[in-house]
């Protein structure tokens, strides 16, 4: 007889989202089954956030050595040992892996099953080679996989993705990157700093969706470091070429962000990285059998993250929205509240901060100025440049600025920041946006000197600049002076 499990909760996928749900539910003493067909920790640990940020850290050190003469310190040109860099990446992953391991979750009381889960009906699923599971509630957290565009020849060419690029046996001599979103720009800059020639090809606008003037600062920095960036350019064919790969380009569209105009012709490189986004990994689930609506962007969910099958939730990269680890973890918390405690929850994507980990970093919370004006909202825009920040001056790293968007009465709706540590600095503003605070709250904050954190406070203070020249204010001060 085939085994049948009847837990309170079944989680499909042991990436960041699924592990967060399973750990929280098990902590409340709820019977949980966790199904994973691949590696525990999912994309973030094994092929995404962790190795990419470890690579960026190595590249940052190489760049710092190259920039050291500006401070009177000359170490000579940096030498990069790619095998040692790879060992660094593996060491970081191995250090975190025990936290996400099957053994740890078994110790928490979670039943971990390795295999592929498929729905067999609205309330049941089966794991290949394993048991049937009939859970009270199910959470789909199967993540996403790299999207490979239908370019002729690409399937037969030696192509890298964000999941395989970290396994290279040698540093690329010339890395061609298709896609100038966050992943393409982050990896492109990292490899450039480690010594590779890098060409980025983007059919549309780099960093589409971000504040254009902030994106321009990032793109200008990449160009200064020697990265060739072509926008309005599509790849129409790829093929092996001598010891590398060649791509055929077609021009179309308008260059943006100070990028090199798109052009036709052929471009040869040693390696090709496809960073054209990710698509939800849903094919194996047989969702139709469970009555779960889905499309190219992922599983359809309501604001409470429920699918069209009311006993099934979907979170993380399996649904449309911000494909970010911290967004998935937040969604996991909402699902636990809903599934275990039957509390009403609502996911709001605009409350999720995001960071592009280039140098300078680009961070944002809430809608951009462009998005607000598109909705018919005329926001107040408050700015402050990093070149007026003493810490940035001391570090000779003054590229960037902060931009707050507020209501006319000063409630903070969102912010964009570009500059060193922007991803750290955005957290204060993210708290203000979530709790509907105003510019007065930021302006009255006491910030250590000298720190980059002063930039948000200084931007908030500009809200009151008009009152400094107000005749009414001047008259009031004069009246108070006469009182002694």
How many percent of the chain have pLDDT more than 90? 88
Task: Please compute the mean of the pLDDT values over residues 60-73 and round it to a whole number.
Answer: 95
Q: Cα dihedral angle (405, 49, 229, 250), rounded to 10 degrees?
A: -110
Whether 147 shows a pLDDT value over 50: the answer reads yes
How confident is residue 474, by pLDDT bands cut at 50, 70 and 90? Answer: low
Residues 204 and 175: their CA atoms lie apart, in Å, by 20
What sign for the dihedral angle of Cα 196, 199, 200, 201? negative
Task: Please compute the mean of the pLDDT values over residues 315-343 and round it to a whole number.
Answer: 96
Residues 329 and 83: their CA atoms lie apart, in Å, by 33
Whether 200 shows a pLDDT value over 60: the answer reads yes
Residues 32 and 22: their CA atoms lie apart, in Å, by 6
Whether 131 shows a pLDDT value over 80: the answer reads yes
Q: Using only the alpha carbons of the chain, give its radius of gyration.
A: 25
Q: Is 473 helix (H, G, I), strand (E, B) or coil?
A: helix
Q: Cα dihedral angle (420, 423, 426, 430), rounded to 10 degrees?
A: 180
Q: Which helix (H) or strand (E) holds 268?
A: strand 265-269
Task: Please compute the mean of the pLDDT values over residues 308-321 and round it to a whole number.
Answer: 97
What is the structure's pLDDT at 251?
Answer: 84
17 and 329 Cβ atoms separated by less than 8 Å: yes
Give the angle 177-182-187 at the CA atoms, nearest 5°: 50
Q: Minimal CA–CA distance to 23: which of 116, 100, 96?
A: 100
Average pLDDT score over the chain: 93
How confident is residue 289, by pLDDT bands cut at 50, 70 and 90? Answer: very high
Helices (H) and strands (E) in the chain, counts: 15, 26
What is the structure's pLDDT at 470?
Answer: 66
DSSP state of 225: T
Q: Residues 246-280: pLDDT tens digits?
A: 999 998 744 333 444 445 689 999 999 999 999 99
Q: Which helix (H) or strand (E) holds 11?
A: strand 9-12
Residues 199 and 211: their CA atoms lie apart, in Å, by 23
What is the structure's pLDDT at 259?
Answer: 42
Task: Please compute the mean of the pLDDT values over residues 173-193 and round it to a whole number.
Answer: 97
229 and 202 Cβ atoms separated by less than 8 Å: yes
Distances (CA, A) of 203 to 16, 98, 179, 260, 282: 31, 40, 8, 12, 27
Task: Please compute the mean of the pLDDT values over residues 54-82 and round it to a whole number.
Answer: 95
What sign for the dihedral angle of Cα 183, 189, 190, 194? positive
Q: Which helix (H) or strand (E) holds 371?
A: helix 369-374
DSSP state of 261: P
Task: Please compute the mean of the pLDDT values over residues 82-110 and round it to a whole number.
Answer: 97
How many Cα atoms are found within 13 Å in the side-chain-facing hemisphere of 168? Answer: 24
How confident is residue 104, by pLDDT bands cut at 50, 70 and 90? Answer: very high
Whether 422 shows a pLDDT value over 90: the answer reads yes
Distances (CA, A) of 22 to 3, 32, 189: 21, 6, 36
How confident is residue 414, by pLDDT bands cut at 50, 70 and 90? Answer: very high
- Sketch out the chain's domains with CATH numbers: 4-145+279-349 (3.50.50.60), 154-276 (3.50.50.60), 360-468 (3.30.390.30)
Retrieve residue 243's tokens. Answer: 């010891």
Burial 290-317 (b: 16+ CB within 10 A, else e): bebebeeebbbbeeebbbebeebbbbbb
Whether 342 shows a pLDDT value over 60: the answer reads yes
- The β-bridge partners of 333 are none
pTM: 0.93
What is the structure's pLDDT at 386?
Answer: 95
Whether 469 shows a pLDDT value over 90: the answer reads no
How confident is residue 224, by pLDDT bands cut at 50, 70 and 90? Answer: very high
Task: Please compute the mean of the pLDDT values over residues 183-206 and round it to a whole number.
Answer: 97
Task: Please compute the mean of the pLDDT values over residues 325-334 and round it to a whole number.
Answer: 97
Whether 197 shows a pLDDT value over 70: the answer reads yes
């Amino acid at each position: 007889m085939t085994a049948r499990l009847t837990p309170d909760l079944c989680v499909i996928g042991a990436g960041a989202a699924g592990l967060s749900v399973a750990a929280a539910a098990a902590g409340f003493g709820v019977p949980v089954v966790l199904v994973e067909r691949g590696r525990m920790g999912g994309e973030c640990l094994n092929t995404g956030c962790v190795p990419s940020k470890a690579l960026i850290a190595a590249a940052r050190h190489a760049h710092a050595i190259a920039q050291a003469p500006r401070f009177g310190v000359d170490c000579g040109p940096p030498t990069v040992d790619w095998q040692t860099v790879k060992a660094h990446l593996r060491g970081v992953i191995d250090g975190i892996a025990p936290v996400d391991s099957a053994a740890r979750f078994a110790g928490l009381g979670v039943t971990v099953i390795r295999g592929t889960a498929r729905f067999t009906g609205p309330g049941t699923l089966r794991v290949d080679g394993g048991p049937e599971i009939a859970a009270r509630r199910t959470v789909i957290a199967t993540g996403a996989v790299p999207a490979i565009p239908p370019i002729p020849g690409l399937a037969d060419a030696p192509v890298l993705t964000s999941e395989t690029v970290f396994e290279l046996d040698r540093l690329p001599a010339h890395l061609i990157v298709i896609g100038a979103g966050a992943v393409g720009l982050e990896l492109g800059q990292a490899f450039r700093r480690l010594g590779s020639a890098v060409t980025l090809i983007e059919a549309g606008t780099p960093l589409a969706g971000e504040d254009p003037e902030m994106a321009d600062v990032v793109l200008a920095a990449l160009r200064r470091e020697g990265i060739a960036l072509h926008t309005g350019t599509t790849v129409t064919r790829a093929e092996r070429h001598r010891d590398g790969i060649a791509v055929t380009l077609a021009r179309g569209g308008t260059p943006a962000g100070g990028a090199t105009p798109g052009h036709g012709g052929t471009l040869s490189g040693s390696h090709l990285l496809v960073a054209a986004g990710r698509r939800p990994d849903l094919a194996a689930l047989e969702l139709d059998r469970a009555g779960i609506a889905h499309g190219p962007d992922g599983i359809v969910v309501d604001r409470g993250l429920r699918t069209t099958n009311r006993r099934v939730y979907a979170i993380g990269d399996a649904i449309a929205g911000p494909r970010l680890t911290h967004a998935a973890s937040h969604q996991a918390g909402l699902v636990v509240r809903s599934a275990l405690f039957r509390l009403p929850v609502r996911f709001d994507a605009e409350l999720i901060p995001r960071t592009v980990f280039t140098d300078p970093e680009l961070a944002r919370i809430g809608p951009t100025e462009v998005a607000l004006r598109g909705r018919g909202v005329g926001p107040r825009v408050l700015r402050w440049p990093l070149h007026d920040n003493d810490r940035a001056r001391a570090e000779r790293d003054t590229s960037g600025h902060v931009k707050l968007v507020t209501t006319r009465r000063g409630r903070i709706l969102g912010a964009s920041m570009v500059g060193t540590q922007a991803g750290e600095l955005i957290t204060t503003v993210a708290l203000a946006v979530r709790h509907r605070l105003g510019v007065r709250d930021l302006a009255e904050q006491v910030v250590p000197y000298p720190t980059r954190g002063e930039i948000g406070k200084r931007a908030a203070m500009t809200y009151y600049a008009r009152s400094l020249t107000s005749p009414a204010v001047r008259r009031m001060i004069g009246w108070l002076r006469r009182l002694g």
